[in-house]
Each structure stands twice: as structure tokens, then as C-alpha cells.
Amino acid sequence: MNLATVTVTYNPDLTLLDAQLRQLPADALRVVVDNASAPDLREPLRALCEAHGAVFIANAENLGLATGLNIGARKALELAPDLAYLLLLDQDTEPGPDGVQSLVKAYENVLERGDPPGCAGPRMVDAHTGLQHGFHCMTRWRWRRRFPPATQTEPVRLANLNGSGTLIPAHVYRQLGGLDDALFIDHVDTEWSFRVLAAGYALYGMPQVGFIHRMGEASVRFWLFGWRVWPSRSPQRHFFLFRNAVILMRRNYVPAVWKAWAVAKLLVTFAVHALTDPRRKEQCQAMLRGLREGLESKAIR
């Protein structure tokens, strides 16, 4: 048993979670951490996990994505101290029947050819639109997304990994101390990625491995020099998105290019919702509260 998967749930769609658990390798240690889902979901969720042989951990309250993943990862490492890899998953990500094995194999091919160790992630395909989310890459002056074809077997060196689908060598997780609990949700993966890079490791995107993924409550397809995906988020999610972006802007290991890109993206996000969102007042209030709390936060490293 050299791989453990960790899935954090909060009021999950049990059909999607069932599909995910069916697609995970049978010989993997599977851990599901529930962040206090609605009472009527808890027992069906527990029964589903037990039917798949997954370790189920029920939190008494919603502790956030980062803490949930850390709880699951530490339980996996406690149960199987010799684990080689941890795979982090959202509750509605579907890796496909051989997706996890393909991701591990692609990463091990990177190591065999002598490239630096680090973390890896698949090509994420939006379930609502069928479009790629793209790989985040960075040059000295530019932050951009790349959209390599699914036929490409050459890994892409990345500046940031999507949290769901992140393959982490166990020794890297132990060395860096896990994810940042203070962030709760949103930009948890961004902060982790920058900390991995700052520690001298690499990040790899594997275009030939595709996971189906869902971002936000829904996704909108739009054209901007190519088809793009815009996730629809609740005001609460926008609060965390803005708060955590500001927190990361105040950390010295976060690249200046990302900080500039993040400022531009926050401005666009605020403008889009202020002008077009039926809940514009609630959305704008949440974003502004996130900005204020991010500036006031003491969660600075």
C-alpha cells in the first residue's frame, strides 16, 4: 500500500462521491473526512464510505478544507507510515478508472529521467463545460495558463497546482508540515504550491492524465481569446477568496508576478459581480469584508 487518497466532504452529492470512490485504486488507502455535513447526510455518507472500505472521519464542525485535508493525511500516515504518496481530492472530482495510477506513473517517469522531485497534478476538465482549467505557469514577468493537448506526454513545469488531484510525496508533506489551516478554503492550493517551490521542489502538470472537476457552484463558458471557464461562487466563497489572496500578497515567498496577477483578477471579479450578479450587494459586501480581514490578518509567515 504505497498511496493514500484524502477526500474532504461537506454536504456532498453522494452519487458523485460514490463515482469517485469506485474509481480510486482498490489497493489504495482511502480516507474521507467530513466537515459536519447536514445531519440527514451523515449516516448515508458514513455507510457509503464503509461500503467502499474507506476510513471515515466525522468532524463535529466545519473546520475548513485545509484542516480537513491535514486530518486525513495525518490519519493515513499514522495507519500506513511507509506510504509513498498522498493524493488530495475534492468531493466532486472524478479521476476516471485508471486516472490515479496514470498520474503516479507519469510522476515516477519524471523521477526516472532525473528531473527534480516535487508534486504533480492532472489536466483538470470542467464537468459543466468540458473545457480545460489550464495549467498555471509563470515567467519572470508573466503569469499565464497553458492548455496543452491531452496527447502530450511531456510534463509541464508549473507555478501552481489545482488542489484537487494534487499528488504529494509523503516525505514532502512531512517536511513542509502540511497545508495552511488558517486559510480554511480558497488559495489553500496556491499557498501550498508556493511553499513547495520555495523549499526547492518542483510542480508538474501531466497533460495526458485527465480528471473531471467541478469549480464553484456552477461554471460559465465565455470567450476571451479562446474559450474560458468562469466559476460561479457564493458570497461566502468570495469572502475567503479575497481574504486569502490578500494574506498571500503579504507573504515574502509568494512571487511578485502572482501578486500583480491576483490584484488584476480581484478587480475583474469585483467588477463582474458588481455589474451583473443578481446578488451584487451581498457579493460586494463579502468581497470588501474579505479585503479588510485580509489586511488585518495576523496569519503571515
**Which residues span the domain enclosing 148?**
3-213
Q: Which CATH number belongs to the domain containing residue 182 in this structure?
A: 3.90.550.10
Residue 221 lies in a domain: no
Residue 219 lies in a domain: no
184 plus 44 within the same structural domain? yes
Query: Which position has the grid cell 509513498?
Result: 84
Per-residue confidence band for 141, with pLDDT thresholds at 50, 70 and 90: confident
| pLDDT at residue 220 in the model | 52
Of 193, 158, 157, 159, the closest CA to residue 176 belongs to 193
| 212-260 tens-digit pLDDT | 998 655 545 544 445 455 567 899 999 999 999 999 999 999 999 999 9
Assess whether 145 and 239 both reside in one domain: no
Is position 128 within any domain?
A: yes
Are 134 and 266 within one domain?
no
Q: Does 283 share its domain with 252?
A: yes
Specify the number of domains making up the chain.
Answer: 2
Structure confidence by residue, pLDDT tens digits, 188-202? 999 999 999 999 999
CA–CA distance from 65 to each of 1, 160, 163, 186 (Å)?
Answer: 25, 18, 10, 8
Q: Name the domain boundary from 213, 243, 260.
A: 213
pLDDT given at position 299: 72
Same domain for 92 and 169: yes
Give the tens place of pLDDT for each residue, 85-116.
Answer: 999 999 999 999 999 999 999 999 999 999 99
User: Does residue 188 lie within any of the structural domains?
Assistant: yes
Q: Does residue 220 form part of some domain?
A: no
Q: Which residue, of 185, 213, 241, is where some domain finishes?
A: 213
Burial 6-37 (b: 16+ CB within 10 A, else e): bbbbbebeeebbebbbebbbeebbbbbbbbeb
Evaluate if residue 1 carries a pLDDT over 60. no
pTM summary value: 0.92
Please state, in angstroms and rounded to a whole number, the distance separating the CA atoms of residues 120 and 9.
22
Residues 59 and 182 in one domain: yes
Asked whether residue 247 falls in the same domain as residue 120, the answer is: no
- Claim to verify: residue 173 and residue 287 sit in the same structural domain: no
Same domain, 48 and 116: yes
Inside any domain, residue 223: no
**Domain-located, residue 63:** yes
Query: Does the pLDDT of residue 61 top 80, yes or no?
Result: yes
Does the pLDDT value for residue 52 go beyond 80?
yes
**Residue 204 sits in the same domain as residue 246:** no
Same-domain check for residues 50 and 93: yes
- Of 181, 213, 245, the position where a domain reaches its end is 213
Indicate if 278 and 238 belong to the same structural domain. Answer: yes
Residue where the block lists cell 490515479: 100
In a domain? residue 154:
yes
